Structure 1
Amino acid sequence: MKKLMEQMAEELSAAFEKSGYDPSYGKVTVSNRPDLCEFQCNGAMAGAKAYKKAPFMIADDVVAYLKDSQVFSMAEVVKPGFINLKVKGEFLADYLKEMAADEKLSVSAAKEPKTIIIDYGGPNVAKPLHVGHLRSAIIGESIKRIGRFVGHKVIGDVHLGDWGLQMGLIITELKHRKPELVYFDDSYTGEYPEEAPFTISELEEIYPCASGKSKEDEAYRNEALEATHLLQQGKPGYMALWNHIMNVSVTDLKRNYDKLNVSFDLWKKESDAQPYIPGMVEEMKEKGFAYVDQGALVVDVKEENDTKEIPPCMLLKSDGASLYTTTDLATIVERMKLFDPDEILYVVDKRQELHFIQVFRCARKTGLVKDDTKLSFLGFGTMNGKDGKPFKTREGGVMRLETLIKDINEEMFTKIVENRSVKDKDAKETAEIVGLSAIKYGDLSNQATKDYIFDIDRFTSFEGNTGPYILYTIVRIKSILNRFAEEGGNLEAGTILDPVNDSQKNLMLQLTGFGATVENAFEEKAPHKICAYIYEVSNAFNSFYHETKILSEENEAQKASFIQLLKLTKKVLETCIDLLGFSAPDRM
Structure 2
Amino acid sequence: MKKLIERITEEAAKAFEKAGYDSSYARVTVSNRPDLCEYQCNGAMAAKKAYQKAPLLIAEDVAAAMDGSEVCEEVTAVKPGFINIKIAKPFLAEYLQQMYEDERLSSELSSEPKTIIVDYGGPNVAKPLHVGHLRSAIIGESLKRMGRFLGHRMIGDVHLGDWGLQMGLIITELKERKPELPYFDESFEGEYPSEAPFTISELEEIYPAASARSKEDEDYRERALAATHELQEGRRGYMALWNHIMTVSVNDLKENYKKLDVEFDLWKKESDAQPYIPEMIQRMKEEGFAYEDQGALVVDVKEETDSKEIPPCMLLKSDGASLYTTTDLATIVERMKLFQPDEILYVVDKRQELHFIQVFRCARKTGLVKPDTKLSFLGFGTMNGKDGKPFKTREGGVMRLENLIRDIDQEMYRKIVENKSVKDTDAEKTAEMVGLSAIKYGDLSNQASKDYVFDTERFTSFEGNTGPYILYTIVRIKSILARYVEEGGSLQGNVLMPAASDSEKALMLETARFNSVVDNAFEEKAPHKICSYIYELSNDFNRFYHETKILTEENSGQKASWILLLDLVRRVLEECTGLLGFSAPERM
Shift, 1:506, TM fit: 0.2
Partner residue, 2:54: 54
RMSD: 0.8
Residue 49 of structure 1 deviates from its aligned partner by 2.0
Counterpart residue number, 2:318: 318
Partner of 1:287: 287
1:531-551 deviations in Å (ceiling 9; x for gaps): 000000000000010001111
- CA displacement at 1:108 relative to structure 2: 2.3
For 1:69-108, what aligned pairs fall within 5 Å after superposition?
69-108=69-108
* Alignment pair present for 1:143 and 2:133: no
Alpha-carbon distance, 1:289 to partner: 1.1
CA distance in structure 2 between the aligned counterparts of 1:185 and 1:86, rounded to whole angstroms = 81
Which residue is 1:265 aligned to?
265
How far 1:103 moved relative to its partner? 2.4
Q: Distance in 2 between matches of 1:366 and 1:76?
A: 57
Alignment of 1:168-567 (within 5 A): 168-567=168-567
The alpha-carbon deviation at position 200 of structure 1 amounts to 0.1
Paired with 2:368 and 2:68, the residues of 1 have a C-alpha distance of 59
User: TM-score when scaled to structure 2?
Assistant: 0.99
Question: Which 10-residue stretch deviates more, 555-564 or 45-54?
Answer: 45-54
Which AA in structure 2 matches 1:48?
K
Q: Which residue of the partner structure matches residue 17 of structure 1? A: 17
- Amino acid across the alignment from 1:408: I
What whole-Å deviation, never above 9, does each CA across 1:62-108 have from its counterpart, x for those lacking one?
A: 12222211111111121222221111110000100111122221222
1:45 is matched with which residue?
45
Would you say 1:587 and 2:569 are equivalent positions? no
Quick one: percent identity of the two aligned structures? Answer: 76
8 Å CA contact 1:169–1:224 kept in 2: the answer is yes
Q: Could you tell me how far apart the structure 1 residues matched to 2:553 and 2:28 are?
A: 36
Residue 493 of structure 1: how far off its partner (Å): 3.1
Question: Counterparts of 1:434 and 1:497 in 2: how far apart (Å)?
Answer: 34
CA distance in 2, matches of 1:364, 1:322: 20
- Distance, in Å, in 2 between the alignment partners of 1:284 and 1:66 is 62
Deviation, structure 1 residue 17 = 0.5
Contact 1:493–1:560, Cα closer than 8 Å, also in 2: no
Further displaced range: 465-474 or 485-494: 485-494
In the alignment, the residues of structure 2 paired with residue 60 and residue 300 of structure 1 have an alpha-carbon distance, to the nearest angstrom, of 59
Task: Quote the Cα distance in structure 1 between the aligned partners of 2:128 and 2:60.
Answer: 67
Secondary structure of 1:416's partner? helix
Q: Distance in 2 between matches of 1:376 and 1:184?
A: 43
Partners of 1:41 and 1:283 in 2: CA distance: 55
Q: Which amino acid aligns with 2:510?
A: Q
TM-score (norm 1): 0.99
Amino acid at match of 1:25: Y
Moved more, 436-445 or 420-429: 420-429
CA distance in 2, matches of 1:216, 1:331: 34
Q: Secondary structure at the match of 1:216?
A: coil
SS at match of 2:377: strand
Is structure 2 residue 67 aligned with structure 1 residue 32? no
Contact residue 27 and residue 42 of structure 1 kept, 8 A? yes
Note if contact 1:298-1:314 (Cα within 8 Å) is conserved in structure 2: yes
When structure 1 is superposed on structure 2, of 252-261 and 33-42 the one drifting more is 33-42
More displaced stretch, 104-113 vs 118-127: 104-113
Deviations 1:121-149 (A, max 9, x none): 00000000000000000000000000111
Letter aligned with residue 379 of structure 2: G
Aligned residues: 588
**Counterparts of 2:483 and 2:531 in 1: how far apart (Å)?**
28
Structure 1 residue aligned with 2:132: 132
Equivalent residue number for residue 155 of structure 1: 155
> CA–CA distance in 2 between the matches of 1:227 and 1:312?
29
Unaligned segments of structure 1, at least 5 residues: none
Measure, in 2, the Cα distance between the counterparts of 1:53 and 1:306. Answer: 44
> What is the distance in 2 between the residues matched to 1:289 and 1:35?
61
Q: Is the 8 A contact 1:144 1:155 kept in 2?
A: yes
Structure 2: runs of 5 or more not aligned: none
Secondary structure of the 2:215 match is: helix
Measure the CA separation in 1 of the matches of 2:46 and 2:315: 54
Q: Deviations over 1:357-408 (max 9, x none)?
A: 1111111111111111111100000000000000000000000000000000
